[in-house]
Structure 1
Amino acid sequence: MKYKKLGNSNLEVSVITFGAWAAGGWMWGSTDRKDAVDAIRASYDVGVTSIDTAPIYGQGTSEEIVGEAIKGMARDSVQVLTKFGMRWDLAKGDLAMNSKDNDGKAIDIYKYAGKESVIYECEQSLKRLGTDYIDLYQIHWPDSTTPIDETFEAVVQLIEQGKVRHAGVCNYSAAQMIEAGKIVPLVSNQVPYSMVNRGIEEETLPYCVVNEKSILAYSPLQRGLLTGKIYAGYQFQEGDSRATLRYFQPDFIARTNALLDQLKPIAEEHNATLGQLVLRWTVERPGITVALAGARNAAQAIENANALKFDLSEEEIIRIDALVYDF
Structure 2
Amino acid sequence: MEKRKLGKTGLEVSALGLGCMGMSEFYGTTDDKESIRTILYALELGLDFLDTADMYGNGVNEKLIGRAIKGHRDQIILATKFGNVRDETGAFLGINGRPEYVKKACDASLRRLGVDYIDLYYQHRVDTDTPIEETVGAMSDLVKAGKIRYIGLSEVSAETLKKANKVHPIAAVQTEYSLWSRDVEDEILPACRELGIGFVCYSPLGRGFLTGQIKKFDDLAEDDFRRYSPRFQGENFQKNLQLVDRIQAIAQEKNCKASQLALAWLLAQGKDIVPIPGTKRITYLEENLGAVDIRLTEEDLKRINEVMPNGAASGERYPEDGMKKVNL
Q: What corresponds to 1:96 in structure 2? A: none
Q: What corresponds to 1:303 in structure 2? A: 287
Contact 2:152 2:173 in 1 (8 A): yes
SS at match of 1:318: helix
Whole-Å Cα distance in 2 between the matches of residues 166 and 226 of structure 1?
Answer: 31
Q: What corresponds to 2:205 in structure 1? A: 221
Q: In the TM superposition, what are the counterparts of 1:51-70 in structure 2 within 5 Å?
A: 51-70=50-69
1:179 aligns to 2:177 (yes or no): no
Q: In the TM superposition, what are the counterparts of 1:255-270 in structure 2 within 5 Å?
A: 255-270=239-254
Q: CA-atom RMSD, angstroms?
A: 1.7
Q: What corresponds to 2:78 in structure 1? A: 80
1:9 aligns to 2:47 (yes or no): no
Structure 2: segments with no counterpart, 5+ residues: 313-328
Question: What is the deviation of 1:81?
Answer: 0.6
Contact 2:43 2:75 in 1 (8 A): no
Q: Which amino acid aligns with 1:12?
A: E
Equivalent pairs counted in the alignment come to 311
Q: What corresponds to 1:95 in structure 2? A: none
Contact 1:140 1:171 in 2 (8 A): yes
Cα 1:62–1:45 shift into 2, 3 Å: same
SS at match of 1:182: helix
1:24 aligns to 2:8 (yes or no): no
Q: What corresponds to 1:119 in structure 2? A: 103
Question: What is the deviation of 1:106?
Answer: 5.8
Whole-Å Cα distance in 2 between the matches of residues 106 and 84 of structure 1?
Answer: 15
Q: In the TM superposition, what are the counterparts of 1:125-204 in structure 2 within 5 Å?
A: 125-204=109-188
Question: What is the deviation of 1:288?
Answer: 5.2
Q: Which amino acid aligns with 1:19?
A: G
Report the TM-score when normalising by structure 1.
0.90
Contact 1:277 1:307 in 2 (8 A): yes
Contact 1:3 1:13 in 2 (8 A): yes
Whole-Å Cα distance in 2 between the matches of residues 66 and 311 of structure 1?
Answer: 32
Report the TM-score when normalising by structure 2.
0.90
SS at match of 1:81: strand
Identical pairs, percent: 35
Q: What corresponds to 2:276 in structure 1? A: 292
Give per-residue Cα distances to partners, 1:296-325, cap 9 Å, x unaligned. 211111211121122112211111111111
Whole-Å Cα distance in 2 between the matches of residues 183 and 112 of structure 1?
Answer: 19
Give per-residue Cα distances to partners, 1:102-128, cap 9 Å, x unaligned. xxx461332001111111111111111
Whole-Å Cα distance in 1 between the matches of residues 290 and 112 of structure 2?
Answer: 29
1:243 aligns to 2:227 (yes or no): yes
Which 4+ runs in 1 deviate beyond 4 A? Answer: none
Q: What corresponds to 2:34 in structure 1? A: 35
Question: What is the deviation of 1:175?
Answer: 0.9
Q: Which amino acid aligns with 2:98?
A: G
Contact 2:4 2:271 in 1 (8 A): no
Whole-Å Cα distance in 2 between the matches of residues 319 and 127 of structure 1?
Answer: 48
SS at match of 1:307: helix
SS at match of 1:87: strand
Question: What is the deviation of 1:192?
Answer: 0.9
Whole-Å Cα distance in 2 between the matches of residues 78 and 140 of structure 1?
Answer: 21
SS at match of 1:83: strand
SS at match of 2:160: helix
Q: What corresponds to 1:92 in structure 2? A: none
Q: Which amino acid aligns with 2:85?
A: R
